[in-house]
Amino acid sequence: MNLYSSLTSIPGIGPSTYLKLNRLGLESVLDLLQLYPTRHDDYSLISSIAFLQTGETVTIKATVVSSSQNLTRRNFAVQTLKIKDQSDTIEAIWFNQPYVLRQFKSGQTYLFSGKVSQFGSKLVLLVAEYEPEDTIQIHTARFVPYYTGRLGVSSKVLRQKIFYVLGQLTAKDFMLDPIPKLSQLKLLSSQQALINIHFPKNALLLKQAKERLAFEQLLDLKLNQLQKQINLQTKSGPKITIDVRQLGQFFVKNLPFQLTASQHKTISEINDDFGSKQPLDRILMGDVGSGKTVIMAYAAYLMAKAGYQAVIMAPTEALAHQHYQSFGELLKFANVKCGLLTAKNKISNLDQYSILIGTHALLYAKLNFTKIGLLIIDEQHKFGVSQRQVLTDDKHWQPFVLMVSATPIPRSLALTLYGQTQVSYLTESPNSFLVKTYLVPESKHLKSYQWIRNQIKAHQVQIYVVCAAIENKQGRINELKTVTQEKEKLQELLPELRIESIHSKHPQKNEYLNQFRKHALDILITTSLIEVGLDIGNASIMLIEDADRFGLSQLHQLRGRIGRRGQQAFCFLFSQSQTPSILSRLRVLEKNHNALEIATLDLKLRGPGDLLGTAQHGFSFVKTEDLLNTSLIETIAKTAKQILANYETKGYTSILVNKFT
């Protein structure tokens, strides 16, 4: 067995398990090792029963005395083992797992790992993992890895297979580590990083493994940036022969509104890009409502007039439809033909459109790459790196690229993530009113609904209600407020109002959105589906249930969906949490409306993955401080250049960078 052996060479991986793993692209032993844990639970503390304390996470070595199964008053099945060691006895319990008692034999000794809890008047062990005492400890009495649940293969099975593989491989199976001066950088080797990211002996080794993986992931990003620069030198791109500034002035003159100073500045930067020998490679960042759409339309208009096609890719159908409508309004004066391509709106002969707007469907369309002069990717962090590359993957042709984001980040961080890409910021909003935001205590929730009813009757405003979940999942306690529940509740509380609900998979999603847009609905209950780019002018109030389940930047983007025509808007944050730190975090939005400050705070609180979509970069181990660490970034850039020089003829592929994030 070696790193590139098939998964089927691992004992116990039969056709069914292989198919489940293969659906995610896992084929080899290395692929399996790159399936990194999402978390570790520390079960290394081995304790006697007599010394257990409430709240402890422990492992107990104990013998089975008896077993039983009972129903609680809430109709939950409780499976119980009475177990003992030399010091005392305790009950080990599970919920709704009727099969589990068949795994144990009375009089046999096992290791049980879990959390000590108060159950009624006695202490019990809520069992998370268990295994017989006479086996090698993989699931208990150590730092135990847990893996993504989307595979259809349990963490227990994955643990067993990965543990087996790591035991079979030797140092010879790992290629020479490409990072020079590992000891000076205080990094683990590739082999040690792989071992300790799955089965660390202690917290320090786990930390060191994560540091090596974070370094490797940032190094991979920098290598890709440098390779991109090299590849661009061999490609040709659009030849712009039009008078950009004259056409630009004509565009601005025909707008039905005045541009802000930062919009004028960005237009000037795009004009310079069109006149440069280097292809446009720019990211446009701007707060919600700062006017990014008109900048996108401006760039697309220029490229269309230059004789090339502009392609705009949006992450949702709703946003693609909205861009299609907005571009149509903004370009009424221009003789350019716009097309809309989505999974539900298929069109043929794509070359006939000067501007083509679409969703992921563009990735599978038969496009003439040498005709595409400009690629605009809206809400670019919603797309994976490989998805963004599909439309620029021609060996000989490089279109201009404009990426757009409603999450402004510090320039230093943008340079880390996007390399030589130029950055434009829209720092003003045409709207004059800030969205008044309130964290509403539970005691005032009913009054909030009454106030909303009065506002609808008095001012004919429209309301979004945002939920963190679509519907309940069976067997879960402490449920979130769901779209389904909220619709039933509000129809009962406000029977005279027109109420509907949507979510990403709702069959009538677009129909209800159009009804809301035409003011045929008063209240639309939804998920964070509406976070991205939706522009419905009469929406003036938003109520967000379980607001603590969203990041600050996501909440800020959500409230940016209201007050879009300059009217005063109101956002109410509801939360079931009573935790002071959580409520304090939410109160930030009551006073702060600066997207950059909110994003920076969110980075510190939640890390880069959720905010920046850096999971799409494979940044599962990169922390915010890594991205902002100038010294570390400089070291990585230097290392990348050394590796490119050493691997110039045969290329370099990391065995640590996780392509399955």
Task: Give the single-character DSSP code of 469.
Answer: B
So what's the pLDDT on residue 292? 93
**Rounded Cα gap, residues 479 and 95, in angstroms:** 17
**419 pLDDT more than 90:** no
The topology under which CATH files domain 436-592 is Rossmann fold (3.40.50)
Locus of tokens 């945002």:
466
Residue 381 vs residue 591, higher pLDDT: 591
Count H helices and E strands in the chain, helices first.
21, 20
pLDDT in tens, 361-378: 888 888 887 789 999 999
Question: Which pLDDT does position 661 carry in this prediction?
Answer: 40
The H or E element spanning position 588 is helix 580-591
As a whole number, the mean pLDDT across the chain is 87
Determine whether 606 is exposed, middle or buried from the number of CB atoms within 10 Å of its CB (0-12, 13-18, 19+): middle
Superfamily of domain 198-431+613-661, CATH level 4: P-loop containing nucleotide triphosphate hydrolases (3.40.50.300)
Residue 177 has pLDDT above 80, yes or no: no
Look-up: residue for tokens 């993504």? 148
- Residues 13-37 pLDDT 10s: 999 989 988 887 889 999 999 899 9
User: Tell me, what's the pLDDT at 474?
Assistant: 46
Residue with token string 């409520």: 583
Q: Both tokens of residue 237?
A: 């791109």
Predicted pLDDT of residue 11: 93
Q: Is 416's pLDDT higher than 80?
A: no
Query: 274: closest CA among 241, 236, 229, 313?
Result: 241
Sign of CA dihedral 278, 301, 348, 323: positive
Nearest C-alpha neighbor of 288 from the set 524, 526, 535:
535
Residue 470, pLDDT score: 80
Q: Which of 620, 230, 292 is nearest to 419 (CA)?
A: 230
Residue 389: pLDDT over 80: no
Q: Quick check: 634 pLDDT over 90?
A: no
At position 169, the amino acid (one-letter code) is: L
- Among all chains, which residue has been given the structure tokens 């998805």? 387
Give yes or no for residue 523 having a pLDDT over 90: yes
Q: Is the dihedral of CA 620, 43, 474, 465 positive or negative?
A: negative
Domain at 45-141, CATH homologous superfamily:
Nucleic acid-binding proteins (2.40.50.140)
Q: Pick the more confident residue, 407 or 214.
A: 214
- Residue type at 373 in one-letter notation: G
Q: Is it the case that residue 660 has pLDDT exceeding 50?
A: no
Burial of 495 (0-12, 13-18, 19+ CB in 10 A): exposed
559 and 589 Cβ atoms separated by less than 8 Å:
yes
Q: Per-residue pLDDT tens for 526-582?
A: 998 887 767 888 999 999 999 999 989 889 989 989 998 888 999 999 999 889 999
In the predicted model, what is the mean pLDDT of residues 592-602? 86
CA distance 622 to 48: 38
Confidence of residue 295 (pLDDT cuts 50, 70, 90): very high
What local confidence, expressed as pLDDT, does residue 619 receive?
A: 54
The helix/strand/coil state of 576 is coil
Classified as helix, coil or strand, 519 is: coil
What's the CA gap between 186 and 49, in Å, rounded? 41
State yes or no: pLDDT of 271 exceeds 80.
Answer: yes
Helices assigned H by DSSP within 3-70: 15-22, 29-33
Distances (CA, A) of 256 to 248, 253, 290: 15, 8, 16
Identify which of 358, 382, 354, 439 has the alpha carbon closest to the alpha carbon of residue 610.
382
Backbone angles phi, psi at 589, to 5 degrees: -75, -15
- The proportion of the chain whose per-residue pLDDT surpasses 90, expressed as a percent, equals 53
How high is the pLDDT of residue 386?
A: 64
CA distance 93 to 106: 16
For residue 472, the model assigns a pLDDT of 60
Closest C-alpha to 190, from 417, 49, 34: 34
User: What distance in Å separates the CA atoms of residue 457 and residue 455, rounded to the nearest whole number?
Assistant: 5
Q: With H, G, I as helix, E, B as strand and everything else as coil, classify residue 640.
A: helix
Predicted local confidence at residue 248, as pLDDT: 95
Cβ within 8 Å of residue 403, ≥6 positions away: 282, 283, 284, 376, 377, 380, 388, 418, 421
Distance CA 383, CA 377 (A): 9
Q: What is the mean pLDDT of residues 163-190?
A: 83
pLDDT of 479 strictly over 70: no
- H/E run at residue 89: strand 89-95
pLDDT of residue 609: 59
Q: Which amino acid is at 308?
A: Y
Please report which confidence band the pLDDT of residue 478 belongs to, taking 50, 70 and 90 as the band edges. Answer: very low
Using alpha carbons only, how large is the chain's radius of gyration in Å?
28
The conformation of residue 542, written as its DSSP 8-state character, comes to E
Portions of the chain given CATH number 2.40.50.140: 45-141
| Burial (CB count within 10 angstroms: exposed 0-12, middle 13-18, buried 19+), residue 56 | middle
How far is the first Cα of the chain from the last one, in angstroms, to the nearest whole number?
Answer: 25
C-alpha torsion sign, points 48, 202, 221, 35: negative
Render 392-427 in DSSP notation, one character per residue: T--SSB--EEEEEESS---HHHHHHHHTT-EEEEE-
| 608 pLDDT higher than 50 | yes
Instruction: Please state, in angstroms and rounded to a whole number, the distance separating the CA atoms of residues 57 and 141.
Output: 11
Extended beta strands in 187-308, E state:
281-286
What is the pLDDT, as a whole number, of residue 153? 87
φ, ψ of residue 353 in degrees (nearest 5): -95, 130
Cα separations (Å) of 495 from 458, 483, 524?
17, 17, 14
Q: Name the percent of the chain lying above pLDDT 70.
A: 91
Residue 616 clears pLDDT 90, i.e. is over it: no
Amino acid at 427: T
Contacts of 466 (CB under 8 A, 6+ apart): 525, 526, 527, 528, 530, 542, 543, 544, 545, 558
Report the C-alpha gap between 312 and 300 in whole angstroms. 8
Cα 537 from Cα 532, distance rounded (Å) = 15
List every span in the chain annotated with CATH 3.40.50.300. 198-431+613-661, 436-592
Q: Which amino acid is at 143?
A: F
> 647 pLDDT band (50/70/90 cuts)?
low
Select the more confidently predicted residue: 477 or 258.
258
Bridge-based pairing state of the strands 355-358 and 338-341 = parallel
Asked whether the beta carbons of 339 and 350 are under 8 A apart, the reply is yes
d(CA 486, CA 508): 18
Reported in sequence order, the residue ranges of 228-303 that DSSP labels E, i.e. its strands, are 281-286
CA distance 552 to 519: 29
pLDDT of residue 310 exceeding 90, the answer is yes
Sign, CA dihedral 191-197-200-204, equals positive
